[in-house]
Amino acid sequence: MGSPKRVLVIDNGSYECRVGWNNTKEPALRFRNVLTKPRKDRKKEAIPDTTDGAPTPVAAEVPAEIQVGNDITNIEAVRAHLKSPFERNIITNWNHQEQIFDYIFTKMGFEGEQSIANPIVLTEALANPNFCRQNMSELLFECYGIPAVSYGIDALYSWEHYQNRRKKVSDALIISLGYSTTHVIPVLNGKLQLQHVRRLNVGGYHIITYLLCLMQMKYPVHLNAISISRMEKLVHEHCHIAVDYREELLKWGQMDYYEEHIMKIQLPYNPVTATNALLTAEQKLEKRRELAMRLLEIKNRREGEKLLEDEQQLFVYNKLRQLYEQDKLQKFELALAQQQIGNLDELDSLISTISNRIKRIKERPLSSPKPSKQQEKIDKMPKAPEGVSQADWLAELQSKREQLLQRKQTRQQQRQEQGKRHTHAAQERMRIISTLARSEKRRKANGEEEDDGFGMNDNDWDVYKRINRYNDDSDSDADNEQLLEFEKILSHYDVNFDDGNAVQTQSAAENYQLHFGVEDIRVPEILFQPSMIGSPEAGLAELIAFVLKLFTAQEQQRMVEHVYLTGGCAQFRGLKERLAREFLEMRPFQSKFSIYESDDHTLSAWLGACVQASQPNFGQTLTTRKDYQEHGSEYFREHRASNLFYPTPKD
């Protein structure tokens, strides 16, 4: 073999996959661990061949290209069709995993080779079920023909990487905060205590989805603009974990704090121009005036044409008349027949009507635009009746308006009350309905129309209004009209009049803003309080306490002296401080603990795997093709960063 082959290191995470050679500083390939199969292009469907009529297979059989990871140009466009091989943090869909391996090996330059000739380091879930590992080994050895593989746990690789630069530590409590799960991993004497590991099924995915839900419910109008990609960005860049959740929450409840700290996110917004709704009143007026001018022009032109026509006609008729006066009767008769005129009287009347028409038009000056209707309306605005001062009149109107408003409000309240069962209003309504029904029955039993006098009084009919659940009847319509009328008058005379529903001076763009305030701490808090998303599981702090209690007091102390945070969600600001606070609460008085963070939360697992792959004893950690053939597909070699091997019992 000679020099050891370089090793391909794959950190196969449920959020992101990182691939690279073990002798490089950073992964050559990072991509979101998803794939999508775009729908077939319509054009590529079978086109009947003109020569022999059979469909040409060339055009038809081009399968839609499957896009993986970074090949997906617009992830938001295919969000609904995204596929992941993962369910939580274990791989369940092997076809998808195969596609992803194809992508990885093609990108890493294996195209053209017979098989993958390099050993592979691959991360897997903690306590990965044997069934999954079995499938993975089969895929790697049978399909890709790899020589050897080493399976490890990402959190432990990350821990290895941390120790690599510092002195070795034998005991630790690793807290790995991933995309779909959060693990609390006790390590004693350098060994993973697998039976005491606990997994909280809450992670970055839940945080992002929770934020998405909250935002969509807060802004139902912008449902489509609130996309997962945008929410991911918000979570990555702006969320943090509150050190004291309750205290920070109460701060958000205060208006001043809210005003000062609220983050406003502008959604993409294209101002709609030239629609009537957005023009100012002045612009509208201007537009209307222009339109009026144009109409007037058309009218004048038409009148001018008509005038010209009439004048010509009059000229002809006058000529005819002259013929008659000059006693050229024969010619006159002929001309009359030509013009389809009966006799002399008719001609005379025609001449007089036309000349009248011409006179009328000429008398009228070219009409100028009338004063706009707006003006008229204002002129028509009712004035205070005589003998009453304007102020008194306005005050009276104001009080009337108040009354109307109050009536409206009671109606609305009544409606709401009736909507609920067991309220007094609802019961009253049922009582009236039942009495009405009973009286009807009695009449029928009698067999004769016994008039109980219902309807004699107009107020009798109100009973139907009272049992109408949605009393949007003519009454309230009339009220509304009157209310509008009052408000118009009041606002006309009183500049300071505030009709209560004044349109807030808000630009349209501001309507496209999301307010991102309390969500900042509320969303990541689900790690500590999964009950917020309806999960019955214990929160992170409670879980840590639970795991620690599985050990003796000395072991606990040894572990809490090296609490180690890793994983993508460990990037939240404030996590370390919050955990310090929680540890202070749960540990005995004046005991010591210390929390360390990984150097690079997202990359440290990959880097740790590289460290191990470069060590001289790396060969011992490899499960080779020979092992695979001898011990079966579920077998793997244990090492410092791996799961423990428990063979599946044979029946």
Q: Retrieve residue 505's tokens.
A: 């001076």
C-beta of 544 vs 611, nearer to another protein: 544
Please enumerate in sequence order all residues whose Cβ is within 8 A of that of 318, keeping only pairs 6 or more positions apart, or say none.
Answer: 351
Strand 148-153 to 172-177 pairing: unpaired
C-beta of 508 vs 550, nearer to another protein: 550
Q: How far apart are CA 516 and CA 234, in angstroms?
A: 9
Shortest Cβ 129–another protein spacing (Å): 5
Residue 422 gets the label, from left (phi > 0), alpha (psi -120 to 50) or beta, of left
Burial class (CB in 10 A: 0-12, 13-18, 19+), 94: middle
Shortest Cβ 477–another protein spacing (Å): 21
Would the CA dihedral through 368, 374, 378, 380 be positive or negative?
Answer: positive
Shortest Cβ 78–another protein spacing (Å): 19
C-beta of 255 vs 366, nearer to another protein: 255
Question: Residue written as tokens 């993975």?
Answer: 136
**Biggest CA-to-CA distance, the chain:** 144
Q: Retrieve residue 498's tokens.
A: 């505030």
Shortest Cβ 254–another protein spacing (Å): 10
Q: How far apart are CA 311 and CA 513, in angstroms?
A: 67
User: In 239-380, which residue ranges form alpha helices assigned H by DSSP?
Assistant: 245-253, 255-261, 281-325, 329-338, 344-363, 373-380
Residue 13 gets the label, from left (phi > 0), alpha (psi -120 to 50) or beta, of beta
Three-state SS at 85: coil
C-beta of 92 vs 355, nearer to another protein: 92
C-beta of 399 vs 531, nearer to another protein: 531
Shortest Cβ 536–another protein spacing (Å): 5
Shortest Cβ 367–another protein spacing (Å): 52
Question: Residue written as tokens 């010619």?
Answer: 331
Q: How far apart are CA 86 and CA 17, in angstroms?
A: 12
Shortest Cβ 136–another protein spacing (Å): 11
Shortest Cβ 182–another protein spacing (Å): 8
C-beta of 103 vs 159, nearer to another protein: 103
Question: Residue written as tokens 């612009």?
Answer: 283
Asked if residues 586 and 541 have their Cβ atoms less than 8 Å apart, the reply is: yes
Shortest Cβ 96–another protein spacing (Å): 9
Element (H, E) at 105: helix 94-107
Q: Retrieve residue 118's tokens.
A: 């390099």
C-beta of 93 vs 403, nearer to another protein: 93
What CA–CA distances, in Å, run from 25 to 21, 67, 152, 606, 608? 9, 27, 20, 10, 11
Q: How far apart are CA 544 and CA 582, in angstroms?
A: 9
Shortest Cβ 540–another protein spacing (Å): 9
C-beta of 126 vs 156, nearer to another protein: 126
* DSSP state for residue 143 in the 8-state scheme: I
C-beta of 374 vs 416, nearer to another protein: 416
C-beta of 488 vs 625, nearer to another protein: 625
